[in-house]
């Protein structure tokens, strides 16, 4: 059992004159300095920090600070002669529990038996003013008993009253807070309102412990989860400390130790957060994670990656958070099952039905039939989860969970190699019903990590970046959850093609196994995909799967990044790129499995970064590859075939389109002028939109011609959600066109997601951009549209070095060190260089790149803009102004200029 003795901490005593409690004892200069209390508080905080550095238990320190504040408040209570009134001063909330970090809220209640008189109110006002002046910022409530009865109808007020601790004053009021709560709230009502509060709080934090910048107090797995256990249990058991629940046999010694250790870990983080910020800060932002990791002793090792120390720190945090949320959920449910449920009316009692000799169904939960089920029948550990899937059961009774957690520790190599256990594990993966929830329970209670030891190694493992939204274990389980969504008609509109493919795949456990192993080797060094391939094949063969199935799982594990990287980083309008991808994939079976796995993986990595633009790229790559693998005789096999096929499709759509007034001959003449490259990169729907706009626009002539203004048209991007805007520009070609265009976009706070820069055969530019409108008003606000068009046309008519808007790097990007990498590859077929740029995403990045291109005389033919968290990974298809190849010297000069510009 963990114990503490606040008196053992050597804190600076109260100033002598304050302890005496008489005004006459205060020297004039001391009175001007607020009795020396601010200096005393500063010294107290310094004493606590020094004690922590010397190895004191954080549990002792939070209690010691509460004791110090106790002495201060009691002295001030007397100082302002409130001891001569009928008031009682209570510590409430965390302070009532004797838990105060450096800058925690000081929750206090001044309670009076009746209405408070004006002379007493003035004394209270003086006390409050003093507290604010000395910098304590108290959360003070002043109430009569009647006021307390009214306020406590709010469950948050009732919660603080449950922890009220009398400091000084009218002892006759000592038990009033408890009596008020007991009078207003039944056990069942209070339990339900706290459960509802937990659910609402979890939703605010994305219902996960694994937020990148978690709130260590209110997020799932935070300190508040421990508080909830206290609120719903202490009232019934009439105890003041969590350990007392052990003596009541509600909480086991081991559970208390686990909860206490995790709580102490969070308190230590909270201490350093307060120390770093000088305020009551509970958000573990990127701004503080490195510093806190260092203060808590996480040091980089010689062979470490740059972020290894902070990643180890966050891994331990996430493990503590999962432990807290798991125990909190279990204990709260245990309270319901043992305290509330037995007293429910008969018609609300859960029905008990046997599932087999070992398990019962009680209401909507599964339960062991006797306490020795797992010890006498070890296979029942896995059988229980299979039954949950077969019978559609999502929850487990807490007595069963406790037995499960103990029994899971006994899973060893002998257990894993038992053929009966292996068959049960595979049957669990084949049973799709509630698979995510079953695996999640396996993970939280130790079964999954013991059965697949490598999975335990990645539990809580995070990557210090903005792209990987979850820890590896959470990401893996979320991926499996998304796979299941492909069978749910509610998500069909979001994933129409993927859903259709997944539902036709009979052996869905193949994909589930690939999902479980695709990232399992992260954190070991080396190529995690290759290491995972070896491990997944060994696992599948050991479990009696065929070589073909095992090697399919292994292939998917090794190449799980292939499709996303090809779609986002390659020019998939180039038949050679698609053909090479098809050669690597090999057959339609591999393609179908890889497509489904990739879409699920991208969504499970960071849902905020998945959009219809990426979905369109994936669908395009899948469709083109499938035609090649099926040897479709109508599939285009080279650039000319693709151009002809695109023109043919666009013409067919033109002839079938209702209410179109374009003349077919005029359309064909225009298309002949637009050039081959245009039909290679644009899709038929956009070609028709462009064609209609061009034919309606006055012919382009010389720049001096007043009727020869460039064409700029906008519309919603139908394939891209969340306020995406498509901008098409048709104008005379000029050297600085790309640079001035992206500069205007930057000035209007428009982010470029995709760009196609094409020069027609008669030297006219046909540029198409997909923009993200952060304000979401561009398409609805006619003035904004006209402003964008005006700025672009003015910039085209007055070509000059574009002026870049000066913008600060956002806070969440400042803490990442992304090296700038620039590579060049020459595409013989297109006679263009493919420039790959990887760097820190930053405001105005594309505009800076465009400015360098302008200064270096670089012609941009196309661009692929990709943002992955804090990293920008962009591609540009470039040449010199004469569409010729760049020399090695010119490439080196360009690389140096870009590096200088981006690093500013």
Cα 499 to Cα 486: distance, rounded to the nearest angstrom:
4
Q: Reduce the DSSP state of residue 711 to 3 states and report it.
A: strand
pLDDT, tens only, 528-577: 999 999 999 999 999 999 999 999 999 999 999 999 999 888 878 778 88
Q: Cβ distance 44 to 11 under 8 Å? A: yes
How many angstroms from the chain centroid is the CA of residue 835?
31
Q: Cβ distance 872 to 837 under 8 Å? A: yes
Cα 389 to Cα 334: distance, rounded to the nearest angstrom:
23
Cα 653 to Cα 87: distance, rounded to the nearest angstrom:
83
Residue range 118-139: mean pLDDT, rounded: 91
State the pLDDT at residue 29.
46
Confidence of residue 401 (pLDDT cuts 50, 70, 90): very high
Residue 778 has pLDDT above 60, yes or no: yes
Cα 735 to Cα 752: distance, rounded to the nearest angstrom:
20
DSSP element (H, E) containing 852: helix 845-855
Q: Cβ contacts of residue 256 below 8 Å, gap of 6+? A: 1, 242, 243, 245, 246
State the pLDDT at residue 820.
87
Confidence of residue 298 (pLDDT cuts 50, 70, 90): very high
Cα 34 to Cα 38: distance, rounded to the nearest angstrom:
7
- Lookup: tokens for 164: 């009220």
Cα 71 to Cα 78: distance, rounded to the nearest angstrom:
11
Residue 721 has pLDDT above 50, yes or no: no
Q: Cβ distance 582 to 625 under 8 Å? A: yes
- Lookup: tokens for 547: 């070589």
CB-based burial label for 121 (10 Å; 0-12, 13-18, 19+): exposed
pLDDT, tens only, 36-55: 899 899 999 999 999 999 99
Q: 359-362 and 352-354 as β-strands: parallel, antiparallel, unpaired?
A: antiparallel
Q: Cβ distance 585 to 629 under 8 Å? A: yes
Cα 610 to Cα 495: distance, rounded to the nearest angstrom:
12
Query: First-to-last CA distance in the chain?
Result: 56
Confidence of residue 2 (pLDDT cuts 50, 70, 90): very low
State the pLDDT at residue 814.
65
Residue 722 has pLDDT above 60, yes or no: no
State the pLDDT at residue 1.
28
Cα 563 to Cα 561: distance, rounded to the nearest angstrom:
6
CB-based burial label for 340 (10 Å; 0-12, 13-18, 19+): middle
Q: 359-362 and 365-368 as β-strands: parallel, antiparallel, unpaired?
A: antiparallel
Q: Cβ distance 249 to 183 under 8 Å? A: no
Query: How many residues make up the chain in this entry?
Result: 904
Confidence of residue 19 (pLDDT cuts 50, 70, 90): low
C-alpha to C-alpha distances, 668 to 223, 675, 695, nearest whole angstrom = 69, 12, 11
pLDDT, tens only, 188-241: 999 999 999 999 999 998 888 888 899 999 999 999 999 999 999 987 888 878
The alpha carbon torsion through 254, 256, 258, 259 (nearest 10 deg) reads 160
Bigger pLDDT: 786 vs 33 = 786
State the pLDDT at residue 111.
97
Residue with tokens 């925690």: 104
Looking at residue 461, the DSSP 8-state letter turns out to be: -
pLDDT, tens only, 635-652: 555 677 778 888 888 888
State the pLDDT at residue 804.
66
Bigger pLDDT: 238 vs 593 = 593
C-alpha to C-alpha distances, 180 to 158, 177, 231, 235, nearest whole angstrom = 8, 5, 15, 12
Residues forming beta bridges with residue 88, ordered by sequence position: 111, 169
Cα 362 to Cα 380: distance, rounded to the nearest angstrom:
17
Q: Cβ distance 642 to 636 under 8 Å? A: yes
Q: Reduce the DSSP state of residue 642 to 3 states and report it.
A: helix
Residue 103 has pLDDT above 80, yes or no: yes
> pTM surpassing 0.75?
yes
> For 147, what's the count of Cα atoms within 13 Å in the CB-facing half-sphere?
12
pLDDT, tens only, 315-359: 999 999 999 999 999 999 999 999 999 999 999 999 999 999 999
State the pLDDT at residue 22.
44
Number of Cβ within a 10 Å radius of residue 661? 7
State the pLDDT at residue 807.
66
Q: Cβ contacts of residue 560 below 8 Å, gap of 6+? A: 514, 518, 529, 594, 597, 598, 601
Lowest mean pLDDT among 268-272, 419-423, 705-709, 850-854: 705-709
As a whole number, the mean pLDDT across the chain is 87
Cα 459 to Cα 476: distance, rounded to the nearest angstrom:
10
Bigger pLDDT: 54 vs 753 = 54
Q: E-strand spans in 66-130?
A: 88-91, 106-112
pLDDT, tens only, 272-289: 999 999 999 999 998 899
% of the chain beyond a pLDDT of 70: 90
């Amino acid at each position: 059992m963990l114990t503490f003795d606040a008196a053992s901490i050597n804190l600076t005593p109260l100033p002598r004159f304050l302890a005496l409690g008489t005004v006459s004892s205060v020297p004039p200069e001391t009175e001007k300095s607020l009795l020396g209390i601010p200096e005393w508080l500063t010294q107290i905080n310094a004493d606590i920090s020094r004690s922590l550095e010397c190895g004191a238990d954080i549990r002792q320190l939070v209690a010691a600070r509460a004791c110090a504040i106790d002495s201060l408040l009691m002295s001030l209570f007397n100082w302002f002669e409130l001891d001569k009134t009928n008031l009682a001063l209570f510590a409430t909330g965390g302070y009532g529990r004797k838990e105060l970090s450096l800058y925690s809220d000081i929750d206090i209640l001044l309670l009076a038996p009746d209405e408070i008189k004006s002379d007493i109110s003035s004394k209270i006002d003086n006390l409050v003013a003093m507290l604010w002046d000395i910098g304590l910022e108290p959360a003070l409530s002043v109430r009569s008993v009647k006021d307390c009865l009214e306020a406590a109808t709010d469950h948050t007020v009732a919660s603080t009253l449950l922890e009220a601790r009398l400091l000084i004053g009218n002892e006759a009021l000592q038990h009033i807070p408890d009596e008020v709560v007991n009078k207003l709230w039944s056990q069942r009502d209070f339990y339900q309102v706290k459960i509802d509060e937990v659910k609402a709080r979890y939703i605010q934090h994305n219902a996960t412990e694994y937020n990148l910048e978690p709130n260590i107090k209110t997020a799932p797995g935070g300190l508040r989860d421990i508080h909830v256990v206290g609120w719903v249990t202490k009232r019934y058991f009439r105890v003041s400390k969590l350990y007392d629940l052990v003596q009541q046999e509600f909480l086991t010694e081991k559970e208390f130790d686990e909860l206490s250790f995790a709580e102490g870990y969070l308190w230590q983080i909270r201490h350093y957060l307060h120390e770093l910020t000088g305020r009551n800060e509970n958000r573990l932002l990127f701004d503080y994670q490195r510093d806190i990791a260092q203060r808590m002793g996480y040091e980089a090792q010689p062979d470490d990656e740059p972020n290894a120390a902070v990643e180890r720190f966050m891994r331990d945090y996430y493990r503590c958070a999962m432990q807290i949320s798991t125990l909190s959920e279990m204990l709260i449910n245990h309270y319901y099952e043992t305290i509330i449920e037995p007293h429910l009316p008969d018609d609300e009692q859960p029905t008990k039905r046997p599932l087999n000799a070992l398990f019962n169904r009680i209401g909507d939960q599964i339960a062991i039939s006797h306490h020795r089920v797992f010890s006498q029948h070890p296979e029942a550990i896995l059988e229980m989860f299979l039954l949950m899937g077969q019978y559609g059961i999502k929850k487990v009774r807490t007595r069963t969970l406790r037995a499960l957690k103990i029994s899971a520790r006994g899973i060893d190599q002998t257990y894993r190699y038992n053929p009966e256990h292996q068959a049960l594990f595979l049957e669990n993966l084949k049973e799709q019903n509630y698979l995510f929830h079953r695996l999640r329970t396996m993970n939280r209670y130790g079964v999954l990590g013991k059965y697949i030891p490598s999975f335990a190694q990645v539990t809580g493992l995070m990557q210090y970046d903005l792209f990987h939204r979850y820890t590896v274990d959470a990401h893996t389980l979320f991926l499996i959850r998304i796979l299941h969504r492909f069978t749910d008609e509610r998500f069909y509109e979001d994933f129409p093609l993927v859903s259709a493919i997944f539902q036709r795949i009979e052996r869905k456990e193949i994909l589930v196994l690939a999902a479980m192993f695709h990232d399992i080797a992260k954190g070991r060094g080396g190529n995690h995909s290759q290491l995972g391939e070896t491990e997944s094949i060994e696992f599948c063969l050991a479990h009696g799967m065929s070589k073909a199935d095992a090697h399919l799982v292994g292939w998917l594990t090794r190449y799980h990044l292939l499709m996303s990287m090809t779609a986002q980083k390659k020019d998939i309008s180039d038949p050679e790129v698609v053909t090479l991808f098809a050669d690597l994939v090999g057959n339609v079976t591999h393609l179908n499995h890889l497509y489904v796995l990739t879409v699920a993986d991208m969504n499970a990595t960071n849902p905020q970064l998945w959009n219809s633009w990426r979905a369109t790229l994936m669908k395009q790559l899948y469709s083109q590859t499938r035609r090649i693998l099926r040897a479709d005789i109508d599939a285009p096999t080279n650039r000319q075939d693709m151009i002809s096929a695109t023109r043919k499709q666009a013409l067919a759509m033109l002839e079938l389109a209702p209410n179109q007034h374009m003349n077919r001959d005029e359309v064909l003449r225009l298309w002949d002028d637009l050039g081959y490259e245009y039909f290679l990169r644009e899709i038929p729907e956009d070609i028709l939109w462009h064609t209609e706009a061009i034919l309606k626009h006055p012919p382009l002539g010389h720049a001096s011609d007043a009727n020869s203004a460039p064409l700029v048209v906008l519309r919603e991007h139908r394939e891209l959600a969340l306020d995406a805007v498509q901008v098409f520009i048709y104008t005379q070609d000029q050297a600085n066109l790309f640079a001035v265009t992206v500069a205007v976009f930057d000035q209007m706070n428009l982010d470029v997601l995709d760009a196609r820069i094409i020069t027609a055969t008669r030297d006219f530019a046909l540029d198409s951009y997909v923009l993200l409108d952060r304000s979401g008003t561009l398409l609805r606000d006619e003035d904004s549209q006209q402003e964008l068009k005006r700025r672009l046309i003015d910039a085209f008519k007055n070509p000059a070095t574009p002026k870049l808007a000066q913008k600060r790097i956002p806070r969440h990007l400042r803490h990442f060190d992304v090296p700038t990498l620039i590579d060049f590859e020459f595409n013989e077929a297109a006679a263009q260089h493919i420039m790959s740029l990887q760097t820190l995403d930053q405001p105005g990045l594309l505009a800076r790149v465009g400015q360098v291109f302008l200064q270096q005389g670089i012609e941009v033919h196309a661009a692929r803009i990709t943002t992955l968290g804090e990293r920008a990974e962009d591609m540009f298809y470039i040449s010199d102004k004469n569409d010729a190849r760049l020399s090695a010297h010119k490439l080196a000069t360009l690389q140096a200029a870009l590096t200088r510009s981006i690093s500013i």
